[in-house]
Homo-oligomer: A and B are copies of this chain.
Amino acid sequence: MITLASDFGTPYPAAMRGVICTRTDARIEDIAHDFPRQDVRAAAFWLTQTLPYFPPAVHCVVVDPGVGTDRDAVVVRAGTHALVAPDNGVALPVARELADSVEVFTWAYDDPASSTFHGRDVFAPAAAAVHEAGVDVVSELDRTTPTDDYVDLQFPTAELVDGGARGEVLVVDGFGNVVTNIPGSILESRFGGTVTVDGDPIPVRRAYAALDPGDRLVTVGSHGNVELAVTQGRGDDAFGVGVGDPVSLAL
């Protein structure tokens, strides 16, 4: 199985699917192609929310603001999974969730047909090649070279302070739910009660529908992080925050 994730929108991913279909009969599953444009950290986050649910696969990830520059292509082996991606860190956070130990290889690619669409000309052929060879022999392929000199990416860590936490907004999902980097465990005994978010008292609830339409709430999202939401509404609008904004939570 090969999965595809990008910020390409349409129809560019179709060219990638075609390239893959000419090289392998592997099943292809889309993760998403509307990741926030050129936002490597957001893509890295959403990959942690999706790829770990898949069976062993080759994951082709292309969020690549540096396309056409001299940035490398990498193959990241994480247990029975492999990720093929630009060397900008996008694949690392999910790789560490997929396996205890992660190996990174540079992928030597030929001069591609285009300088603007390596998804089609570099990453799709690489994903097909890794899939056909098998994840377990990645290290033996002619095009792979093990490397320690790769771009890494870590999500910012929330600061746990006495009586609360200071974190930031990692992503906003399509419902407007605001995903922070504050671990949900902080709210464990608070459900049904109230916490203070950026100075305002806000109910802590398990379900978006727990309150009246338009009411703000704090919950723990499916990612395990603290999430700012609104019953039948958009949390980003109601809390007035966006990606990268600080969020302060007092218990």
Chain B residues near A221 (CB-CB < 8 A): 114, 116-117
Q: Is A50's CB within 8 Å of the partner chain B?
A: yes
Contact A18 B115 (CB under 8 A): no
Query: A67 and B209 in contact (CB under 8 A), knowing A9-B174, A115-B219, A221-B114?
Result: yes
Give the number of times this chain occurs in the complex, counting copies.
3
Pick the interface stretch among A31-39, A156-164, A241-249. Answer: A31-39
User: Are the CB atoms of B50 and A30 closer together than 8 Å?
Assistant: no
Report the separation of the CA atoms of residues A32 and B53 in the bound assembly, to the nearest whole angstrom.
Answer: 20
Q: How many residues of A contact B (CB 8 A)?
A: 60
Report if A14 contacts B (CB, 8 A): yes
Across the interface, which residues of B come within 8 angstroms of A117, CB to CB?
A: 221-222
- Provide a sorted-by-A list of 26 A–B residue pairs whose CB atoms are within 8 angstroms: A9-B173, A10-B34, A10-B174, A11-B35, A12-B49, A12-B222, A14-B29, A14-B50, A21-B55, A22-B54, A53-B120, A66-B207, A67-B209, A68-B206, A68-B207, A69-B207, A69-B210, A113-B222, A114-B220, A115-B206, A115-B220, A116-B207, A116-B208, A116-B227, A117-B221, A120-B222
Partner-B contacts on A (CB < 8 A): 1, 3, 5, 8-12, 14-19, 21-22, 28-35, 37-38, 46, 49-55, 65-69, 113-117, 120-121, 173-175, 206-210, 219-222, 227, 232
